[in-house]
Amino acid sequence: MQKFITKKVREMEVEDAVEGFFLLKNPSPKTTQNGKSLLSFKLADASGEIECVFWDYEGNLHETCNGKPAKIRGTVSEYNGKKQINVQQIRAAKEGDPVDLNSLVPAAPIDPKQAYTQMIDLIDTIQDPEYKNVCLEMLSRNREMICSMPAAKAVHHAFRYGLLMHTYFMMCHADHMARYYPFVDRDLLLTGTFCHDLAKAKEYTLSPVGMVTDYSVPGYLLGHLYMGASDIGNVCREIGVSEEKSLLLQHMLLSHHGKPEFGAAVPPKTAEAMLLSMIDDLDAKMETVREALEGQPNGMTESVWALGYKLYNHD
């Protein structure tokens, strides 16, 4: 009897008999010119994706399963010079199935638990009780999302734990910078940094496994700067933070893109708002560079979309 093995998509070879959990993409029933019915779809994991075909499929997988994990069994073949799986069995994943999201979608190159813990430790160093309460309240309202969602649809940090990685790195930078610029209110800076992108949870729609698929309608019409500032204003009112502190936090969120042409609703007008906008830009640019250089040979890369030119990779 045939032995089915578990493999990453990128490592599959022709004639492999494979089984396992993958993300199901765009399942669509079709009919061939000679009348045979089939289900055509793709399977994906964090390593890549592969075309699949299920002949004489009579099950009920349809559009609503798109983007969700499914279990399959099949054989790798080649068609038109590209690999594909001839699937013999397929079913949607059920609760209790041993699905490992981290193998199915790309993830940040960090240890998410450690990053989370250290970020919480930094929040704990905030002296001002009002600012610390804002952080804790925002954390309790957004914990699940902070722990998993990407920070973007594309360009940089567009992977699982992306928002956590971005926020954690920026809080480390904020902590560092506050030592060199003592006129900066460290508590305010850490609070604004922690909260600056939390409204991204509302700005995007997410796939079943938590990848950003598009802007939500409120995200498209209002943007995460406005929504985040508005949220933090409401939280401050609800938990009794002073007007001045609420105002300073709202200003940081509204201005954190630095310039109107980059999306800032107002330019940063406090020391903390300016510093936030610069460490946000710095971390975004460096992650863009990391993604452009990763796995590349020495020499010039392809043109990097967010920069408009090629980078040079060296030892």
Residue 275 as a binder of a copy of itself (CB under 8 A): the answer is: yes
Asked if 146 and 139 count as a contact pair (C-beta separation under 8 A), the reply is yes
Q: Rounded CA gap, 90 and 69, in Å?
A: 11
Q: Which residue has the tokens 């009920």?
A: 60
Q: Can you say whether the dihedral through the CA atoms of 112, 116, 122, 126 is positive or negative?
A: positive
- The residue among 199, 191, 186 whose CA lies nearest residue 249 is 191
Q: Contact region for a copy of itself (CB under 8 A) — 36-44, 95-103, 144-152, 282-290?
A: 282-290
- Spatial neighbors of 108 by CB under 8 A, at least 6 apart, are 157, 159, 160, 161, 162, 164, 165
Q: Contact region for a copy of itself (CB under 8 A) — 3-11, 93-101, 130-138, 302-310?
A: 302-310
Among 115, 223, 235, 241, binds a copy of itself (CB under 8 A): 223
Q: Rounded CA gap, 19 and 185, in Å?
A: 55
Q: What is the dihedral of CA 272, 278, 283, 284, to 10 degrees?
A: 120
Q: Contact region for a copy of itself (CB under 8 A) — 58-66, 118-126, 131-139, 175-183?
A: 175-183
Q: Shortest gap between Cβ of 87 and a copy of itself (angstroms)?
A: 25
Q: Shortest gap between Cβ of 71 and a copy of itself (angstroms)?
A: 33
Among 111, 266, 303, 305, binds a copy of itself (CB under 8 A): 266
Residues near a copy of itself (CB under 8 A), total = 58
Please give the structure tokens belonging to residue 284. Answer: 């975004």
Taking 3-state DSSP, the helix, strand and coil percentages for the chain, each rounded to the nearest 5, stand at 45, 25, 35
Q: Contact region for a copy of itself (CB under 8 A) — 17-25, 92-100, 136-144, 211-219?
A: 211-219
Task: List residues binding a copy of itself (CB under 8 A).
Answer: 169, 172-173, 176-177, 180-181, 183-185, 215, 217-218, 220-223, 225-226, 229-230, 233, 244, 247-248, 250-251, 254, 260-261, 263, 265-267, 269-271, 274-275, 278-279, 281-282, 285-286, 289-290, 293-294, 299-300, 307, 309-312, 314-315
